[in-house]
């Protein structure tokens, strides 16, 4: 009976065709789940600071992750995890609501319309065209930029890095959290080097257990808890108020960051697992784009802002995930969290951060493919990496790289190197920077 089920899964997801197996996909799904599980804690926490009901935000976040991640597994047969983005959530919670005092329903309306715009591009097949328009060297540098951003997130989550008004400062290296995370990096990297199956899962479980006597892991009072209702956040959205002229710059900020971030992650992971240029596979990159754009609009209706394809999807591909079965495994685990929310919040950031750091650093090797002999190609590719880290947002980084590419090529007199699509993108990129300049 087990063999029959495995055969069916093999046929449906094309496991053998992609050199994978049911066991590998399940372990990859576990790894991707643990690498992205921090979203269940971080996203609702950010929204709660802006006055959004915490329990309802948690339910909305988990449901959105489950539905979007399962959809990309079934419909596109790809190993991705989709969840509300940190950058988009920060724009909603910190910038719009707390700083600009924009009403929550209006902010979610902006998210909705940005998703509609990206959905239109996806339906017209223009996002796939955008992927082809991106210069080759910038495409090759995308994985490195995302990797460093993942490392950056891991450092912040563990306390090894402290963002301040004057810049970035080293954290308290003597704290139990940081020491546990540093030890975790060594453990996870060593397990990976020894090719131990489920290295990420083993590392997170071991670190979570070690964190108990250290006071880093806090055991919950109860393990099971019925999910809170979505009442306070469901359909609390002002679609027409979001279209007021003074909000145009924020609408474009949502649109640009979501478009470039998700597109970049999809390109990086598909290339990483060898599916970018392989024909005849049971996958479609345009289907992935369609799912994530629908997830943006759908998420805005249940209090989950700016859903995107997470860079932490690389944790699944690094663990051997090659098909949608990885995504379905991850979605199933997040679904369980609706009843085991206390378990999700028990896992300390110090236990998940090492996985992010190791995965991110592993993506650095992609930069060796970048042609550094030609400055008109090398500078934009390097700017992508630098701006992603210094500005703390991959969307901003790739926008800067694309803008620089066109301008440098023009000044260098190499007009023919610039794809027609880049000329179409340029006015939007310039507008993006103009409206976000301080």
SS3 of 238, please? coil
159-168 residues labelled b (16+ CB within 10 A) or e (exposed): bbbeeeeeee
pLDDT number for residue 105: 93
Regions in the chain scoring below 70 on pLDDT: 1-7, 10, 87, 128-131, 165-167, 197-198, 249, 252-253, 256-257, 272-284, 344-345, 392-395, 432, 434-438
Count of structural domains, the chain: 1
pLDDT number for residue 380: 92
Residue 234 contacts by C-beta under 8 Å, 6 or more apart in sequence? 56, 60, 301, 302, 303
The answer, as to whether pTM is greater than 0.85, is no
Using one digit for the tens of pLDDT, what is the confidence trace for 373-397?
889 999 999 998 888 888 766 667 7
Asked if the structure places residue 250 within a domain, the reply is yes
Asked if the structure places residue 254 within a domain, the reply is yes
Using one digit for the tens of pLDDT, what is the confidence trace for 279-335?
344 446 778 888 989 999 999 999 888 898 887 788 888 888 888 899 999 999 999
Q: Is the dihedral of CA 122, 130, 312, 228 positive or negative?
A: negative
Which range marks the domain in which residue 201 is found?
12-361
Asked if the structure places residue 369 within a domain, the reply is no
Asked if the structure places residue 373 within a domain, the reply is no
Angstrom CA distances, 110 to 117, 169, 281, 387, 407, stand at: 11, 33, 36, 25, 30
Say how far apart CA 387 and CA 378 lie, in whole Å: 14
Asked if the structure places residue 409 within a domain, the reply is no
DSSP per-residue codes, 379-427? HHHHHHHHHHHHTT-HHHHHHHHHHHHHHHHHHTT-GGGS-HHHHHHHH
Say how far apart CA 238 and CA 243 lie, in whole Å: 9
Asked if the structure places residue 414 within a domain, the reply is no
pLDDT number for residue 408: 94
pLDDT number for residue 281: 46
Please, which residues bridge with residue 164 across strands?
Answer: 167
pLDDT number for residue 367: 82
Asked if the structure places residue 383 within a domain, the reply is no
Angstrom CA distances, 182 to 93, 219, 352, 354, stand at: 31, 22, 11, 7
Residue 284 contacts by C-beta under 8 Å, 6 or more apart in sequence? 76
SS3 of 166, please? coil
Asked if the structure places residue 392 within a domain, the reply is no
């Amino acid at each position: 009976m087990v063999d029959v089920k495995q055969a069916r899964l093999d046929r449906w997801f094309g496991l053998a065709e992609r050199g994978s197996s049911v066991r590998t996909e399940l372990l990859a799904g576990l790894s991707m789940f643990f690498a992205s599980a921090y979203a269940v804690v971080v996203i609702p926490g950010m929204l709660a600071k802006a006055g959004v009901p915490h329990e309802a935000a948690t339910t909305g976040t988990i449901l959105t992750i489950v539905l979007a991640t399962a959809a990309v597994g079934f419909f596109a047969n790809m190993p991705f995890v989709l969840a509300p983005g940190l950058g988009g959530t920060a724009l909603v919670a910190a910038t719009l609501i707390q700083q600009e005092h924009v009403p929550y329903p209006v902010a979610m309306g902006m998210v909705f319309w940005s998703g509609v715009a990206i959905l239109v591009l996806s339906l017209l097949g223009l996002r796939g065209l955008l992927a082809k328009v991106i210069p080759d060297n910038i495409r090759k540098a995308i994985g490195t930029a995302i990797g460093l951003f993942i490392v950056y997130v891991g450092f912040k989550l563990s306390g090894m890095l402290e963002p301040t008004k004057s810049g970035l400062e080293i954290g308290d290296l003597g704290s139990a959290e940081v020491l546990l995370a540093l030890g975790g990096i060594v453990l996870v990297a060593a397990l990976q080097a020894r090719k131990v199956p489920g290295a990420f899962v083993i590392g997170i479980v071991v670190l979570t257990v070690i964190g108990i006597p250290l006071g880093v892991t806090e055991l919950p009072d109860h393990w099971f808890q019925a999910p809170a209702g979505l009442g306070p956040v469901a359909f609390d959205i002002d679609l027409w108020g979001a279209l007021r002229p003074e909000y145009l710059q924020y609408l474009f900020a949502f649109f640009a960051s979501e478009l470039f971030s998700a597109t970049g992650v999809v390109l990086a992971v598909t290339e990483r697992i060898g599916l970018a240029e392989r024909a005849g596979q049971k996958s479609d990159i345009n289907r992935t784009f369609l799912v994530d754009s629908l997830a943006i609009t759908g998420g805005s209706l249940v209090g989950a802002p700016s859903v995107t394809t997470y860079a932490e999807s690389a944790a699944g591909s690094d663990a051997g995930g090659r098909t949608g079965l990885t995504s379905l495994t991850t979605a199933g685990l997040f679904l369980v969290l609706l009843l085991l929310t206390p378990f999700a919040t028990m896992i300390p950031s110090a236990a998940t951060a090492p996985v992010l750091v190791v995965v991110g650093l592993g993506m650095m090797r992609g930069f060796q493919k970048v042609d550094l002999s030609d400055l008109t190609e090398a500078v934009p590719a390097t700017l992508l990496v630098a701006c992603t880290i210094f500005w703390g947002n991959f969307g901003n980084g790739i926008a800067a790289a694309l803008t620089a590419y066109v301008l440098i090529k023009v000044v260098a007199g190499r007009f023919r190197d610039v794809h027609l699509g880049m000329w179409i993108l340029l006015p939007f990129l310039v507008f993006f920077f103009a409206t976000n300049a301080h």
